[in-house]
Homo-oligomer: A and B are copies of this chain.
Amino acid sequence: MTTRSLLILPGDGIGPEVMAEVRKVIDWLGAKRDLAFEVSEDLVGGCAYDKHGTPLHDDTMAKAQEVDAVLLGAVGGPKYDDLDFSVKPERGLLRLRKEMDLFANLRPAQCFDALADFSSLKRDVVSGLDIMIVRELTSGVYFGEPRGIFEEGNERVGINTQRYTESEIDRVARAAFDLAMKRGKKLCSMEKANVMESGILWREVVTRVGADYPEVELSHMYADAGAMQLTRWPKQFDVIVTDNLFGDLLSDLAAMLTGSLGMLPSASLGAPMENGRPKALYEPVHGSAPDIAGQGKANPIACILSFAMALRYSFDLGEEAARVEGAVEAVLAKGLRTADLLGEEGVSPVSTAEMGDAVIAEL
């Protein structure tokens, strides 16, 4: 029998609430589909700091390295705003990404037809939107050295270093081209090669990798123009590949186009492990939303869909993934809405748990 090990890190804020709904899906798969998962759970972010004085304990890090997939809720909250940089909740997440070497962050921006009117963009601009942003996640200005705040003359200077090697660009480019091959065979690479040498190298390496994918139509765009074009007519894109920092902004922008942040999952993938599965971490795009935490108002769908991505990318259970995704769409089509998705006439919100239960009922 295949084992499927999963480490669940609910984290802070609404993390535990939305993760409880994912548990229902996991249980359903075990009971009804005979798909067992070995699930362990641990702390990350502010709650880990509260207990251990660090946002990610070494034991948790070690566990994350051993499992087939990590599922993370969200980290952070105002309570931790004044902590030192080195122990902020985000450092836990960044350490997971870096030490697991999860270089390819897959961020689908998909507009659910039932929710298209929630977008601030016109319906025809976003309905049917389905793009995938591949963001480099383990290098660039997030991790480059030197970094810090230094004395210089009689003042201080804040320094960070944007830094990309050819092989770092090569591997994320390949991940993006592979995805493009499975989708619309169109890839747009974004950088600022007109201003940054790291962007020049980026463009050169992506172009070189493109020679191995003659079927994929490759284009390049400056990241500022990319932000504009995503806003103007996002459907012109299929797959976008970009660096860590541009990817942070552009994928959030793309997510917001869909109008329903509470719906969007993400996968962060690394190199294959011995068992052939990639190192992997899955998390919703939304944050920890401390303002609504503990009130049953959170939308669990992004976290459920993140688990669906795990089924697809880590456990080779594409059919089950599609089943979960289908159940989510069906529930939305029936008009169920959590509090983040209000505004339609005659709709009153369901709770986090009710939404989870509805997905299970649909399954």
Instruction: List residues of A whose CB falls within 8 A of some B CB.
Output: 76, 85, 88, 90, 94, 120-122, 125, 141-142, 144, 147-149, 152, 155-167, 192, 194-202, 223-225, 227-228, 231-233, 245-246, 248-250, 252-253, 255-257, 261
Contacts and interface: CB of A to CB of B under 8 A. Distances in A.
A121 B94 CA distance: 34
* Identical subunits present: 2
The 7 closest A-B pairs by CB, nearest first: A158-B201, A158-B198, A224-B252, A228-B256, A231-B256, A160-B162, A155-B166
B165 A197 contact: no
Nearest to A203: B158
Nearest to A161: B161
17 contacts: A76-B194, A85-B200, A90-B195, A141-B196, A144-B159, A149-B197, A155-B167, A156-B165, A158-B196, A158-B199, A158-B200, A158-B202, A160-B161, A224-B248, A225-B252, A227-B227, A231-B256
A246 B166 CA distance: 25
A189 to B, nearest CB: 14
Given A166-B155, A249-B249, A227 B256 contact: yes
A232 B256 contact: yes
Contacts of A252: 224-225, 227-228
A161 to B, nearest CB: 6
Contacts of A228: 252-253, 255-256, 261
A142 B192 CA distance: 10
Given A161-B161, A161-B162, A166-B155, A194 B253 contact: no
Nearest to A117: B122
